[in-house]
Chain A
């Protein structure tokens, strides 16, 4: 995974709430067996609409998606994260994310940042009137800045460290193999366990 320390880019205002993962990428686009190429399905239902924000010249190069509340609800498809990343987004800002989507994004290195709805609205106004506004997201100092505005956001220390180091979660857990072995060995007989399903 690529390290995420600091990113500067322009914003894309997505003035919609409850953008579920079926909107981010409809199921018909989920049939690939790779992790790349999902950008063609990103917001597929809206991409034919010339008024849709991604079709506007001013926002075509944006890397920071600023979305309405409850972004990423619904299906657990990680393809939603891949579609945003494949398209070129590095950061998504919203006042509220669905749990599974947020987990997926932070595992895959797409930084999802929670700001207040008021801060999101201010950011929308600024990038709509001046699309070239540079937005800097600094994970080290946990800040988002643009023009003279400096906003702070919260992210737990562990996730921040993992993203800044670009560490693979699985590699980290495999270092704990001894703990897993001993958990399996010491589990009481009466505790639930899957009766082996081998043929």
Chain B
């Protein structure tokens, strides 16, 4: 029987299948961090349970760590308690941890791939919804809640119901200045924030194949913003090349590649739903509202809710414009920005920093805004410094920070003030996401850099 890639990986991991029950699925890799794990470890202790496979579990500190003065104790006592709790739990249960100050510390979804832990055909989970990122390698990877974290710690499995599958075909080639971030924002605007609920999305087509591994991660990362728990891209030469020479690459690499090469949807495989997108027509995208589906090409204007026929969507648009402090009809490029945030598990990798630095090189950011550059991991930061990118950002007037989730979710001191407006390369423009009362426009690294120079939402073509 023809199978989709998602079905193949699923079937390879069934520990037990019984009528009327969820499948018990084996988990190959479990990533953990300080925010969604303490209650899970506590549950193990209460029930006198152990971590079944500490060797398949790895922890890092990312969500609430400061990006300044990381050589000093964490100033916020509650953040400190959470980080100290993670360290103590990892010690007690024998889990490897990359703490603040370690060269491998960073956002969990940047760390996994850069260590070569993320590999095709694996099942990967983490108590974080952006675990979908790892799907770029052809791994079935999804976010889980804390009860499930505890379940995986105790059993290395999860009881799950097989998802439906959706193919998203992106054919054609991207125009200069258009990136994988624009592809995924356009997909979310097309299918909506609930469009992928219950599905695993498989991104296919020539435009996806043409993307680098890091750009593919950006696409898969935001699958959850379309409501899908996981996104997948079939592995190919680029995938193998990326993993090769990474610290955790398979020892018998040729045997691994042979198996990985079978990890594609069969030609006759039926998807439950198929969606098509023309890459040739895509423009740099930006969100205007308070959910990631409320996005438009940068050349457009703020939409008029009165033009929206669906009552529910109209109401949501009205509320969004009020919260965002925007007037219908205003060209998006006229919107003035206070803060540019370059970073996150969506766009905090070395290629993202390089592409932004290329635009900023030898120029100064607008005096009307501040720009934060937060590498996705300590390793990315070191790489960027070895290429002199830190100097480009600092000379342009941006702040060069240490690695972490930072302003993507504002759990650490990096937050927007009430009414402050950001152009952010992160993944969520929810009300208050980057700080209470803060207003977020999601953009690509290129748009972020161009916006930093001009002070209003801009694409590189406007420079």
Contacts and interface: CB of A to CB of B under 8 A. Distances in A.
Interface of A: 16-18, 20, 22-23, 26-28, 30-35, 45, 68-70, 73-79, 81, 96, 98-100, 103-104, 107-108, 156-158, 169-170, 172-174, 176-177, 179-180, 183-184, 189-199
A4 B274 CA distance: 39
Interface string B225-259: 10111000000000000000000111110011011
B312 interface: yes
Contacts of B305: none
Q: What are the nearest 5 A-B pairs in CB distance?
A: A104-B145, A78-B145, A33-B38, A31-B78, A76-B143
Contacts of B319: 16
Given A33-B85, A100-B229, A169 B151 contact: yes
28 contacts: A16-B319, A20-B291, A20-B428, A73-B193, A75-B128, A76-B145, A77-B36, A99-B197, A99-B227, A103-B145, A104-B146, A107-B145, A108-B147, A170-B151, A172-B159, A174-B49, A180-B15, A180-B156, A180-B157, A184-B26, A190-B256, A192-B28, A192-B119, A192-B259, A195-B117, A197-B57, A198-B94, A199-B96
Given A192-B119, A194-B55, 15 more contacts: A18-B316, A26-B436, A74-B129, A78-B127, A96-B194, A107-B147, A158-B22, A170-B47, A176-B16, A180-B15, A180-B24, A190-B258, A192-B260, A195-B250, A197-B55
B24 A75 contact: no
B341 to A, nearest CB: 15
B162 to A, nearest CB: 12
Contact of B197 (A34, A98, A169): A98
A103 B143 CA distance: 11
A157 B21 CA distance: 8
Contact of A98 (B120, B139, B227, B411): B227
B411 A27 contact: yes
The contact size tier of chain B is 35 or more
A183 B24 CA distance: 11
Nearest to B315: A17
B58 interface: yes
A190 B35 contact: no
Contacts of B35: 30-31, 77
A30 B411 contact: yes
Given A31-B64, A31-B411, A73-B194, A194 B16 contact: no
Contacts of B4: none
Contacts of B49: 170, 174
A32 B26 CA distance: 30
B390 interface: no
A98 B129 CA distance: 11
Nearest to B251: A195
Given A78-B146, A81-B145, A189 B428 contact: no
Contacts of B120: 192
A191 B24 contact: no
A198 B29 CA distance: 13
A193 B410 contact: no
A72 to B, nearest CB: 10
B143 A31 contact: no
B431 A23 contact: yes
B79 interface: yes
B350 interface: no
User: Which of B29, B58, B145, B431 is the most central at the interface, judged by chain A CB atoms within 10 Å of its CB?
Assistant: B145
B103 interface: no
A194 B139 CA distance: 12
B144 interface: yes
Given A30-B411, A34-B39, A100-B129, A22 B256 contact: no
Interface string B91-108: 000101000000000000
Contacts of A30: 35, 411
B259 to A, nearest CB: 5
Given A45-B431, A103-B145, A197-B96, A69 B194 contact: yes
Given A100-B144, A169-B159, A198 B128 contact: no
B266 interface: no
Contacts of B38: 33-34
Given A74-B430, A81-B145, A173-B159, A158 B56 contact: no
A74 B428 contact: yes
Contact of B411 (A28, A32, A170): A28
Nearest to A96: B194
Nearest to B436: A45
Interface string B63-84: 1100000000000101101100
A23 B147 contact: no
B198 interface: yes
Contacts of B410: 27-28
Interface string B145-173: 11110110011110101000000000000
